[in-house]
Amino acid sequence: MTFWNRRQLTMAAVALALGAYPAHAGAVLDRVTSAGTLKVATDANWAPQSFMNANNELDGFDVDVAKEIGKHLGVKVEFVTPGWDIITAGNWAGRWDMHVGSMTPTKKRAEIFDFPAVYYYTPAAVAVHKDSKAKTLADLDGKVVGATSTSTFEAYAKKELTLDAAGAPPFEYKLNPKEVHSYENSTTAFDDLRLGDGVRLDAVVSSLPSILDAVKAGYPIKQVGEPVFYEPLAIAIEHGDPELSAKIADAVKAMKADGTLSKLSEKWYGQDYSKTN
């Protein structure tokens, strides 16, 4: 029996004893380097961050960033696509090692996750039907607003948003909706908005890129007002592996320094979202 096997056995024994999978220092990084693959969880339904492209493969900004990080760690990247609430529930139990899916680092999430690096900022904006008379966000007072459930957009609409990550730009609540409807993703919210001004929704809070994409695809909607907040978006890993955390932070720092992140952002958004401005 080699040392490695014994160590794995001990881990399994500890796991059984504690009734949980332990994530002791370096465990995830050890697993990643020994397997040669980094398992990355991401969404398959969140264009242009991550989506299925014409060749039926995962593609997008988040996917490219994850692949770059894999390159820096010297391992292959493999994607898994569990639902968002499965990912945010924590307790990954080694099913995947890292999450690159535009997660906003909040204090509550920081209880479950480490956020090694913020890799870009998305402007969040409000969309209305193109027939809407609303000119400013104040015109939407007392209206019905839709947003993806458990997203920061929903939290903003409900005035429960806390952006407490390091370097998060300040913001204020400019939206006073009467009701907030929750949707599974932004597309279903846009689908309700397209039915007509005020038919089911008066406005949708979503990321500016996804609004612009919907407009490009012919949805009868438009942006109203300025972006309401800039959302820092970070890579998430589980607590307990500072070595992996440091490796990812280094990789992202290097990607920022050599312009890779800016280039990827330009490629997918047409703008450089890797810094706020």
Partner 1 sequence: MLYPDTVEAEVLVHKPWFVATMFGVGLYGRFAIGFAIAVIFTLNVVLIGFAPLKLQIGIVWLELLLLFIAFFETFHLSLPFIREKLPFLISQGVVTTLYVSAISIVIASVIAVAGAVAKLSSNGFAYAIASFYTSFFRGLPLLMQVYLIYLGLPQLGFVINAVPAGILALSLCYGAYMTEIFRSGIQSIDRGQWEASRSMGFGFALTMRRIILPQALPVIIPPTGNQFISMLKDSSLVSVIGVWELMFLARTLGQKTFQHMEMLISAAMIYWVLSICLELIQSRIERHYARSKVR
Choose between 21 and 173: whose C-beta lies nearer to partner 1.
21
Supply the minimum distance, in Å, between the C-beta of residue 164 and partner 1.
26
How far apart, in whole angstroms, are the C-alpha atoms of residue 158 and residue 134? 20
Choose between 202 and 213: whose C-beta lies nearer to partner 1.
213
169 binds partner 1 (CB under 8 A): no
Interface residues for partner 1 in 200-239 (CB under 8 A)?
213-214, 217-219
Q: CA 135: distance to chain centroid?
A: 29
273 binds partner 1 (CB under 8 A): no
10 binds partner 1 (CB under 8 A): no
Choose between 82 and 240: whose C-beta lies nearer to partner 1.
82
82 binds partner 1 (CB under 8 A): yes
Supply the minimum distance, in Å, between the C-beta of residue 206 and partner 1.
14
56 binds partner 1 (CB under 8 A): yes
Strands 58-59 vs 50-52: parallel, antiparallel or unpaired: antiparallel
How far apart, in whole angstroms, are the C-alpha atoms of residue 4 and residue 131? 66
How does 16-27 read in b/e, with b if 16+ C-beta sit within 10 Å? eeeeebebeeeb
Residue holding tokens 């703008």?
A: 271
Contacts of 144 (CB under 8 A, 6+ apart): 177, 178, 179, 180, 181, 198, 200, 201, 202, 203
Residues that bind partner 1 (CB under 8 A): 15-16, 19-21, 41, 44-45, 47-48, 51-54, 56, 80-83, 85-86, 89, 91, 93-95, 187, 213-214, 217-219
